[in-house]
A and B are shown apart, each in its own frame.
Chain A
């Protein structure tokens, strides 16, 4: 019964989406307030309908209703409840439902909180959002219906892939989708603006909060995915340049460029057509990601098992959505007013450079991901990206410190560099310190480390400049700091967060220690930084839906006991899959990471021990970035639209 309610709700949502997509658009063209006003209730009701459908599906999983096909295919009666719920989006059909739910959520948010938007723009934005929703709801109902039933219902399900039965799964997809799908707002705003024929600073002011929210969510989503891979895959890697990982990175990069570009539109009324293009591109890349994962065109641990037919449907949706937007762009963008002029050396100039480089980096990832799909004789992996992506991002990271200190319109480069001298000196000092600590260290590592430090110190310099630190009494600086607009703090944190993440990446990539050993109980193995591990044997055990071999190890530092470590090797009988659960001890300066291998014929166990310095900083830095984004979002100035234009006095009145 309840799955049927869900099914009907889904169809209702499709009808609402179609209404939302058509009538307000017509109303905006005709300036008919009644028709335009349909958009808001349509969007809100659409959210309610999809919400009901989602709740119905969740209910089916919670009660283990195996007459629903996806539940039978992906769940198990003895599966822990957390994974029954998160399993709702652990497969293609359920995750598509989550996708449209979030799409509707953003649409309804604009309907409810976009009070200061001009009616025609609002109507058009919601209409475009409705079009996207209609397309994907149709896709779900026609090809990926989660409410299909099995008759007779099986007694028990086929369990979920053990790799997915993990807390990480609870949060990684929702955050990722809030990001990916959140960029649909920027897209809708861009297309609506192209239809209106006007892009102005007010438009940028409305677009930025939505883009910032999506960007922050995506940052967290990617970080969660990376962290999940880190502790799930057994040796401490956190990025594999897997096509699906790349598919999440590309909108993030493009979204970053979009954020900065929108800033220029808002402050200087320039870079308009570029910003619109980036908005379309960013959501387009999100759709590319959706396509890659579900079309069957790639092999990846992330790919859902789907067939080419669904892939073609999504490709068509993508082509129509993005193609339509690009067509509109080709027609309308040339007519946009050219904006403010600026010198090459200026904040705008630096942001343009930043955008160019980031976009090139995005293109690099795009080509690297797509090329092997089209030419099967060649493959692209980490070495390629290290030689192309990294050299492109290096100047971005260097310039991102200079840009915030530059003036708009015409910047004073020597002056800015002068103000950065403390940051520069600090960077050199810390590089030397790192070199000394690591006993030399590869040159590239020190260079990367330097970049990370440079960014963090640069962000600090930003704030120091704003509060005139050391140039006015400290108390005054402090009160200035408290009074600084939140977006200033947000920017500083976001930039610093990237620097911190970069330091984590360098530390774990270049300064890790690895010990691969065969050990007997009682053996003690030295690791790094004063750490040693004592192996005390392996015992057998049982979990709710798995059998396990539990390793018993003690972590020691400088001889003293730190903690117990219990890596496992599990076997899930229903899914017939083994997994390896690593034991990680996280500290501020790094991780100790232990994986249990196979038992040897002579009774020894193979152990893999790692010390990953600074690796928690990767995810810590990402959280700081997202925090910076959230901080900026809470800035009231960002959420209030541009002030309404004062009434124009009649011609002929005295000046």
Chain B
């Protein structure tokens, strides 16, 4: 019994080291937080269009087919970095990318889209950031996957990379399309 007690520190160390080690190697980003809205319906919102456009974005625009929701801003550097990936996704058949323009000056956003390309089916202007808060957004960019029933199934905080698109998003979209 006494022997066992002396072994305890070593055992605890091994357990902790293995636990922390696996966490490290899993490659998860320490800044990434799980969304509280997974499997919940998209919160109701209705955002106006950017000036000069007729689209706007509402929660009712989702559903019927799996879609991507991308939150971006013209002042956000990683958004620019991920934009080619988003553009490629948006131009593909069968994938719709809808966007929320977060806390942006409308003229800046329009200029950014003109300069970098506009792959979005619809864009809603969230100048106060309220809708983003309802979605649990804590930084830009963020990308959500919404299913046929209008429920949030996945949220990626930070810029999308081709690796993440291939590993997480495409398989999920394929599954949700069934």
Residues of chain A having any CB pair with chain B under 8 Å: 273, 277, 280-281, 284, 295-299, 308, 311-312, 315, 318-319, 322-323, 326-327, 329-330, 333-334, 370, 373-374, 376-377
Contact = CB atoms under 8 A, between A and B. Distances in A.
Contacts of A333: 6
Contacts of A322: 13
Contacts, number: 63
Contact of B14 (A308, A323, A334, A376): A323
Contacts of A334: 2-3, 6
B149 interface: no
B26 to A, nearest CB: 9
Pairs A-B, 3 closest by C-beta atoms: A326-B10, A326-B9, A330-B7
Contacts of B10: 323, 326-327, 329-330
Q: Choose among B7, B10, B33 the residue with the greatest number of A CB atoms under 10 Å from its CB.
A: B10
B21 A312 contact: yes
Given A295-B24, A315-B24, A319-B17, A376 B9 contact: no
B24 A311 contact: yes
Contacts of A326: 9-10, 13
B31 A374 contact: no
A333 B3 CA distance: 9
B34 interface: yes
Q: Choose among B24, B31, B33, B34 the residue with the greatest number of A CB atoms under 10 Å from its CB.
A: B24
Contacts of B27: 308
Contact of B20 (A273, A315, A329): A315
Given A284-B13, A329-B10, 16 more contacts: A273-B6, A277-B9, A296-B24, A297-B24, A299-B30, A299-B31, A308-B25, A312-B24, A315-B21, A315-B24, A323-B13, A330-B7, A333-B6, A334-B3, A373-B30, A376-B32
Nearest to B21: A315
15 contacts: A295-B24, A297-B24, A299-B30, A308-B25, A311-B24, A315-B17, A318-B17, A319-B14, A326-B9, A330-B7, A330-B9, A333-B6, A374-B20, A376-B34, A377-B34
B64 interface: no
A271 to B, nearest CB: 15
Contacts of A299: 30-31
Nearest to B22: A374
Interface in B78-132: none
B171 to A, nearest CB: 22
B17 to A, nearest CB: 5
A42 to B, nearest CB: 29
A297 B6 contact: no
Contacts of B2: 334
B17 A308 contact: no
B23 interface: yes
Contact of A330 (B6, B17, B20, B31): B6
Nearest to B27: A308
Nearest to B9: A326
Contact of B33 (A280, A281, A376): A376
B16 interface: yes
A297 B30 CA distance: 6
A326 B15 CA distance: 13
B9 A374 contact: no
Contacts of B23: 297, 373-374
Given A299-B30, A299-B31, A308-B27, A374 B17 contact: no
B52 interface: no
Interface of B: 2-3, 6-7, 9-10, 13-14, 16-17, 19-21, 23-25, 27, 30-34
A186 to B, nearest CB: 16
Contacts of A373: 20, 23, 30
Nearest to A328: B10
A334 B4 CA distance: 10
Contacts of A376: 32-34
Contacts of B20: 297, 315, 370, 373-374
A519 to B, nearest CB: 28
A327 B21 CA distance: 20
A296 B13 contact: no
B24 A308 contact: yes
A604 to B, nearest CB: 24
Given A299-B30, A312-B24, A329 B17 contact: no
Given A296-B30, A334-B3, A329 B9 contact: yes
A377 B3 CA distance: 37
A376 B35 CA distance: 10
Nearest to A327: B10
B17 A312 contact: no
A374 B24 CA distance: 10
Contacts of B30: 296-299, 373
A373 B23 CA distance: 8
Contacts of B13: 284, 319, 322-323, 326
Nearest to A323: B13
A299 B7 CA distance: 33
A284 B25 CA distance: 22
A329 B7 CA distance: 8
A295 B34 CA distance: 21
B97 to A, nearest CB: 27
Contacts of B9: 277, 280-281, 326, 329-330
Contacts of B33: 376
B138 to A, nearest CB: 12
A312 B31 contact: no
A420 to B, nearest CB: 36
Nearest to A292: B20
A370 B24 contact: no
B122 to A, nearest CB: 32
B143 to A, nearest CB: 19
Nearest to A377: B34
Contacts of B3: 330, 334
Contacts of B21: 312, 315
A296 B31 CA distance: 10
A329 B34 CA distance: 41
